[in-house]
Amino acid sequence: MQQLLIIGFVWPEPNSSAAGGRMLQLISLFKEQGYNITFASPAQDSDFMVDLEENGVDKKSIALNCSSFDVFIKELNPSIVLFDRFMMEEQFGWRVTENCPNALRLLDTEDLHCLRLARQKAFKENRLFQTADLMVEEVAKREVASILRCDLSLMISEFEIEVLVTKFKIDKALLYYLPFLLDSITVTTFDKTPVYEERKDFIFIGNFLHEPNWNAVQYLKETIWPLIRKQLPQAVLNIYGAYPSQKVLQLHQTKEGFLIKGRAAKAQEVVCKARVVLAPLRFGAGVKGKLIEAMQCGTPSVTTAIGAESMHGDLPWNGAITDIPQVFADEAVQLYNEKKLWIEAQYNGLTIINQLYLKALFVEDFKKQILFLEANLHQHRFINFIGAMLQHHTMNSTKYMSRWIEAKNK
């Protein structure tokens, strides 16, 4: 049986972030293809991490800048190594290459970090983001180098593939579109969720360690929510999210109907009870788990162009998309008040899930892609000269820096 090693930036927390849910989807995908899976990470255990062993996955703690990893990976001898975000490839990629040169190296980007950070920088400098900003973004140099060193990068956003190909001239053969992998939704699925009349309140949900979420909550508090309350004086907005800081908790205002609830024990449960999801994201990247979850729960959403980016193709959104605060508030109020519009939006979400995110649409092609790469790995790497060049220099720079740190620590 083939062995897959996943090197995780953190231990998966599917109830805390979309990244955790995405990782469990990938684990399920490889398990169904018959792989033995080991998940290794240098991160500390958390109270909310998933029980990997319950999911049939071996768990292994590893250390940064330590040759104990070399012993571990030689013994494991994986046929595939999947890096969870580019930072893990930076730390462990050269060790994988040195000890298991024939292992297929995959990178799960989660989202394009350099895109998110460049947009965040432009926002904070009060200027419009231009894709040219990426060329001077420090993280872009690291992230693109990591993509080039890997045999295949799993991309969750088609827009980000376009950015990599057009701006950074990445060969499409190194990129593979693999979005969230979901089960189908039918009309009867919504029979198990509260109907329009049984739902109440607005909701925002998102991990507060993620800067775009914290910014969106500030934007709601200062700009969007007062406009909604002007039209619906008794409206309530419930703010859920893992790891809220004291700054977040201080925004709680009962009189304004702006309620900070913290971590949701069962995220889908609270989303299913809400009538409308609000997600006024002003910067970010990737595909937004909170908006996918809203569709699965049959809860319409109002978001921004960045929020809905690369999420719905040419299909109508399950609610509204706008970057104008007053229009955002008006659309939210209209969705909240008009049952017919609300139901139409709910079924738009069903269509998006079923046409763009069904696991069955991607499984077979992904399996063929992995088999093809394994059978043609030498040729695949031969044509990726820049990747081979970067791999060479990494082996002769990062390697010795890591060795120096290890010796210093001793």
Residue 348 to residue 353: CA distance in whole angstroms: 9
Q: What is the pLDDT of residues 52-86, one digit of tens each?
A: 999 899 999 999 989 999 999 999 999 999 999 99
Nearest to 236 by CA among 249, 215, 252: 252
Average pLDDT over residues 223-251: 95
Percent of the chain whose pLDDT exceeds 90: 85
What is the pLDDT at residue 16? 79
Distance between CA atoms of residues 26 and 19, nearest Å: 11
**Structure-token pair, residue 13:** 């927390």
Question: Would the pLDDT of 376 be above 80?
Answer: yes
Q: How confident is the model at residue 396 (pLDDT cuts 50, 70, 90)?
A: low
Paired tokens of 121 = 């920088």
Per-residue model confidence (pLDDT) at position 392: 74
CB 19 within 8 A of CB 110: yes
pLDDT at 400: 63
Same fold for the pair 3-181+359-409 and 187-356: yes
Distance from C-alpha of 137 to C-alpha of 122, rounded to nearest angstrom:
11
CATH assignment of 187-356? Answer: 3.40.50.2000
Yes or no: say if 280 and 307 are a contact pair by the CB < 8 Å rule.
yes
H/E segment holding residue 407: helix 398-409
- Per-residue pLDDT at 369 exceeds 70: yes
Residue 301 · residue 318 · CB < 8 Å: yes
CB-based burial label for 235 (10 Å; 0-12, 13-18, 19+): buried
- Are residues 11 and 46 in contact, defined by beta-carbon separation less than 8 angstroms? yes
Mean pLDDT score of the chain: 93
Which pLDDT does position 158 carry in this prediction?
96
pLDDT tens digits, 212-225: 999 999 999 999 99
Does residue 295 sit in helix, strand or coil?
A: helix
State yes or no: pLDDT of 136 exceeds 80.
yes
pLDDT at 15 over 90: no
The whole-angstrom separation of Cα 6 and Cα 309 is: 28
**Residue pointed to by tokens 């895109």:** 115
**Which position has the higher pLDDT, 400 or 169?**
169
Q: Which residues pair with 60 in a beta bridge?
A: 40
Q: In what order do the strands lie in the sheet with 3-7?
A: 58-61, 36-41, 3-7, 80-84, 104-108, 152-155, 175-177
Average pLDDT over residues 393-403: 67
Whether the per-residue pLDDT at 236 is higher than 90: the answer is yes
pLDDT in the model for residue 397: 65
- What six digits make up the tokens of 387? 């990747």
Cα–Cα distance, 203 to 52 (Å, whole number):
30
Beta strands (DSSP E) in 141-273 are 152-155, 175-177, 202-205, 237-240, 258-262
Task: Domain ranges for the chain, please list them.
Answer: 3-181+359-409, 187-356
For 140-187, how does the pLDDT look when each residue is reduced to its tens digit (9 = 90+)? 999 999 999 999 999 999 999 999 999 999 999 999 999 999 999 887
Domain at 3-181+359-409: CATH architecture: 3-Layer(aba) Sandwich (3.40)
Handedness of CA 61, 154, 103, 64 (dihedral sign): negative
Would you place residue 227 in the very low, low, confident or very high pLDDT band (cuts 50, 70, 90)? very high
Per mean pLDDT, which range of 134-148, 182-196, 248-262, 387-401 is the poorest? 387-401
How many Å apart are CA 76 and CA 73, to the nearest integer?
Answer: 5
| β-strand partners of 319 | 301
Burial group, residue 262, by CB count within 10 angstroms (0-12, 13-18, 19+): middle
176-211, pLDDT tens digit by residue? Answer: 999 999 999 887 888 888 999 999 999 999 999 899
**The predicted structure's pLDDT at residue 399:** 67
Task: Answer with the residue of higher pLDDT: 102 or 408.
Answer: 102
| pLDDT given at position 395 | 63
- Take residue 220 and report the two structure tokens written for it: 């709601």
pLDDT at 240 over 70: yes
For 77-101, the pLDDT digits (tens) are 999 999 999 999 999 999 999 999 9
Q: Residue 19 pLDDT more than 90?
A: no
Say how many C-beta atoms besides its own lie within 10 A of residue 249's C-beta.
Answer: 12
Handedness of CA 378, 383, 388, 389 (dihedral sign): positive
pLDDT of 394 > 90? The answer is no
> Is 268's pLDDT higher than 80?
yes
Alpha-carbon gap, residue 372 to 147, rounded angstroms:
19
Distance separating alpha carbons of residues 314 and 189, to the nearest angstrom: 24
Scan for tokens 């090197």, then name that residue. 7
At 96, which helix (H) or strand (E)? helix 86-99
